[in-house]
Structure 1
Amino acid sequence: MFRLPPLPSLRDFIYMYRLKAKKILSQNYLMDMNLTRKIARKAGVTENSHVIEIGPGPGGITRAILERNCRSLNVIELDSRFIPPLQHVAEAAEGRMKIHRQDILKTDIADVWKDYENEKSEWLDDRKINNFHIIGNLPFNIASPLIIKYLRDMSYRRGAWKFGRVPLTLTFQAEVARRICSPVDTDDRSRISIVSQYISEPEYIFEIPGGCFVPAPKVNVGVVKFVPRIEPLIPCSFEVVEKVARHIFHYRQKNIIKCIKTFYPEELSKDLANSLLEKCGISSRAVSYQLGMQEFSDICQVYEKQCLEIPGLFIYDYTRVKDTLESLQSKENLFPPLLHNSYNLLEKDGISFKESKILIN
């Protein structure tokens, strides 16, 4: 472990720089260095690692990452109040740390890591250790949109995932963390379970009591590590998988036929929903949380074919009652985006998809 030069304690930093957490930004500082070191260790940071830390705040996890003697650390922080204390830490890091004051939701991590492109690994490389890592104690208000953005980027191998199968180690409200990692036929199974698990292998590493944070949230916090899969469990685009999962879990306790019917306009819903379930071999009386990944894969693939055969079906939204398939014909993106393997399979079925996009070779 690398020993940083003497620094003020985290509590002293907060006092010196008057870093009162802002409730509106869902800020909670993790003060226990034993826990921040555990996060850095479980993330897999080594002396060869290039790390991005999201929302470092006063720098607790930042110090723990630097103590593991990583090659580089880029911290991304939007709140200007934290820049002076982070500069204090950067001075002690001997040139290994850079500070970026920007919004993580608008940041392309590939740009941050552009100097290390010659070190990126091949996606099919099955090594357990990746030299690139993303770590963050996320504010609760951005955790959900950020993980959806990252899972989408992961599925298209863009952004950080141009550099290979880059793992994510992030914090969430414990309830959300359990949903992300929830297995089939459990109470926590939800949309985020499907979109997380089809493209990655999320692991619930450990739970942190809310009392370890300042100010203490009313809930515990779960630390989850996402490792991208070499091949996704569902051979469809992220947009198709996310839409299917969202609709199926909309009526979580209802028979799945009710959920499937929301894919379609009323005049087509009965025939197309029954046809889909029949092709997938799924009972109309099944409920969403009982479906395994193979069942979701089958549903996504059949629905994708239906969307390619019926222009506008993919962008149909049952909550907008005035929309019809005819009225949607003037809209853009009438067809779902396709992955290369879907393209080949559908081409064999004689399905035309000239207006769809191939996103991954």
Structure 2
Amino acid sequence: MATRRLPPLPTIQDLIRMYQLSARKQLSQNFLLDMNITRKIVKMAGKLEGGFVCEVGPGPGGITRSLLNTGANHVAVIEKDRRFMPSLQLLAEAAQGRLSVYQGDVLHFNMGQIIPEELAKPWDKTPPNIHIIGNLPFSVSTPLLIRWLAAMSSQSGPWKYGRTKLTLTFQKEVAERMVARILTDQRCRLSVMCQYLCDVKLKFVIPGRAFVPAPEVDVGVVHLVPRVTPLIQLPFPLVEKVARHVFHYRQKYCRRGVETLFPVHRLDLLEEMFEASGVDPESRCFMLSIGEMDRICHAYNDICQREPDIFAYNYRSRENAAKVRRKTKILTEMIEEQILHGKSSSGL
């Protein structure tokens, strides 16, 4: 371990001053400068010795330093903001080949191409010594997580090597939603999407004042380990669509959200779905367990298998069309009224 530690380097605060770095609000950047906290985040990831770590959004390199001071064989960082390249390259030189720096947007970066194939393990075995770690910007954290869950479900990208683990930061309220149990205020679509695919744990909360600049919210550190067998064994797009609709009207009966899955003239399918699933249509969505969501998803899948056009149905397109018709009708009535009173319609 001693041979893997970094040589003395300028502090992160010094690097920020040297390279005149500042957090950009439009990129939701917040620097984590307390090395005690960065070490704690790295510790939550588990045993890294001999493994491969991919860090997303390293910024000036606070967590990166703590990663390099573990026994990880290699650390790869993906950073969108070019301003941080010099400080990260400085770390790469000090790490003597153990750090690779990639400039790019993690939302579009193919992480699977940089992971050593020799670390791969079968999906049904223990997770490989591959880790994804990051202090995520709030603006991309949820979309990025959904993309990763989709890749996890298809065992692609970083998950073609096995059940790659994640240790990530999220806005505290998002972290609480990810781990929320039934009958709690935070229970939502994200709770179902995370929990049916992963064992999810909120490890600890970082006070907002620990960041520079300090956000108005605290931050939760969440650890996710993919399940060997998903609790809902259906395609990810179908599960995501059903969960999105079920939780669309969170304070109403779940029937209200589920009915938006079907055209208004096919409410017979709504009744069939509840009858087949055995779920009480007057349950609130935050009362539904993963098992009940599983039965709802399977009932919907059976209908879609029989009537493929149902999955393509989008109630929002119907709503938008109705809005256009209403606006057109109002405008037409206004023009007719102006003409009736002998006024020019050019002033409309």
| Superposition TM-score, scaled by structure 2 size | 0.90
Separation (CA, whole Å) in 2 of partners of 1:249 and 1:158: 28
Q: Which has the larger radius of gyration?
A: 2
Separation (CA, whole Å) in 1 of partners of 2:187 and 2:132: 25
Does the Cα contact within 8 Å between 2:171 and 2:219 map onto a contact in 1?
Answer: yes
Higher mean Cα deviation, 204-213 or 309-318? 309-318
Structure 2 residue 157 is matched with structure 1 residue 159: yes
Separation (CA, whole Å) in 1 of partners of 2:305 and 2:272: 16
**Equivalent of 2:274, from 273, 277, 280?**
277
- For the residue of structure 1 that corresponds to 2:159, the secondary structure is helix
1:193 is matched by which residue type in structure 2?
A: S
- For the residue of structure 2 that corresponds to 1:272, the secondary structure is helix
2:36 is matched by which residue type in structure 1?
A: N
Question: 4+ runs of 1 displaced by more than 6 Å?
Answer: none
Q: 1:22 is matched with which residue?
A: 24
What is the identity percentage for the equivalent residue pairs of Structure 1 and Structure 2? Answer: 46
Q: 2:302 is matched with which residue?
A: 305
- For the residue of structure 1 that corresponds to 2:76, the secondary structure is strand
Q: 1:146 is matched with which residue?
A: 144
Q: 1:117 is matched with which residue?
A: 117
Does the Cα contact within 8 Å between 1:316 and 1:323 map onto a contact in 2?
Answer: no
How has the CA–CA distance of structure 1 residues 285 and 175 changed in structure 2, closer, same or farther, with 3 Å as cutoff? Answer: same
How has the CA–CA distance of structure 1 residues 323 and 276 changed in structure 2, closer, same or farther, with 3 Å as cutoff? Answer: farther
**Equivalent of 1:134, from 126, 132, 155?**
132
- For the residue of structure 2 that corresponds to 1:106, the secondary structure is coil
Q: 2:263 is matched with which residue?
A: 265
Q: 1:207 is matched with which residue?
A: 205
Does the Cα contact within 8 Å between 1:317 and 1:323 map onto a contact in 2?
Answer: no
Separation (CA, whole Å) in 1 of partners of 2:92 and 2:71: 13
2:265 is matched by which residue type in structure 1?
A: E
Does the Cα contact within 8 Å between 2:198 and 2:230 map onto a contact in 1?
Answer: yes
How far has the Cα of 1:11 moved from its partner?
Answer: 0.6
How far has the Cα of 1:130 moved from its partner?
Answer: 2.9
Separation (CA, whole Å) in 2 of partners of 1:100 and 1:40: 20
Does the Cα contact within 8 Å between 1:204 and 1:223 map onto a contact in 2?
Answer: yes
Separation (CA, whole Å) in 1 of partners of 2:105 and 2:238: 27
- For the residue of structure 2 that corresponds to 1:250, the secondary structure is coil
1:209 is matched by which residue type in structure 2?
A: P
Q: 2:327 is matched with which residue?
A: none
Separation (CA, whole Å) in 2 of partners of 1:291 and 1:180: 15
Separation (CA, whole Å) in 1 of partners of 2:159 and 2:123: 8
Q: 2:83 is matched with which residue?
A: 81
Number of residues of Structure 1 aligned to a counterpart in Structure 2: 319
- Deviations along 1:185-209, one digit per CA (max 9) or x if unpaired, are 1110000001111011111011000
Structure with the larger helix share: 2
Separation (CA, whole Å) in 2 of partners of 1:18 and 1:53: 23
- Deviations along 1:217-270, one digit per CA (max 9) or x if unpaired, are 00000010110000000011100110010000000011111111111000012x
1:40 is matched by which residue type in structure 2?
A: V
Structure 1: runs of 5+ lacking an equivalent: 325-361
Separation (CA, whole Å) in 1 of partners of 2:258 and 2:13: 53
Does the Cα contact within 8 Å between 1:257 and 1:274 map onto a contact in 2?
Answer: no
| Superposition TM-score, scaled by structure 1 size | 0.86
**Equivalent of 1:321, from 313, 318, 323?**
318
Separation (CA, whole Å) in 2 of partners of 1:50 and 1:26: 27
Separation (CA, whole Å) in 2 of partners of 1:185 and 1:236: 25
How far has the Cα of 1:316 moved from its partner?
Answer: 0.5
How has the CA–CA distance of structure 1 residues 245 and 95 changed in structure 2, closer, same or farther, with 3 Å as cutoff? Answer: same
Does the Cα contact within 8 Å between 1:51 and 1:135 map onto a contact in 2?
Answer: yes
Q: CA RMSD in A?
A: 1.3
Separation (CA, whole Å) in 2 of partners of 1:144 and 1:218: 18
Q: 1:176 is matched with which residue?
A: 174
**Equivalent of 1:238, from 236, 239, 245?**
236
Separation (CA, whole Å) in 1 of partners of 2:91 and 2:148: 28
Separation (CA, whole Å) in 1 of partners of 2:308 and 2:83: 51
1:267 is matched by which residue type in structure 2?
A: H
Q: 1:336 is matched with which residue?
A: none
Q: 1:286 is matched with which residue?
A: 283
Q: 1:344 is matched with which residue?
A: none
Does the Cα contact within 8 Å between 2:279 and 2:296 map onto a contact in 1?
Answer: no
Q: 1:339 is matched with which residue?
A: none
Q: 1:10 is matched with which residue?
A: 12
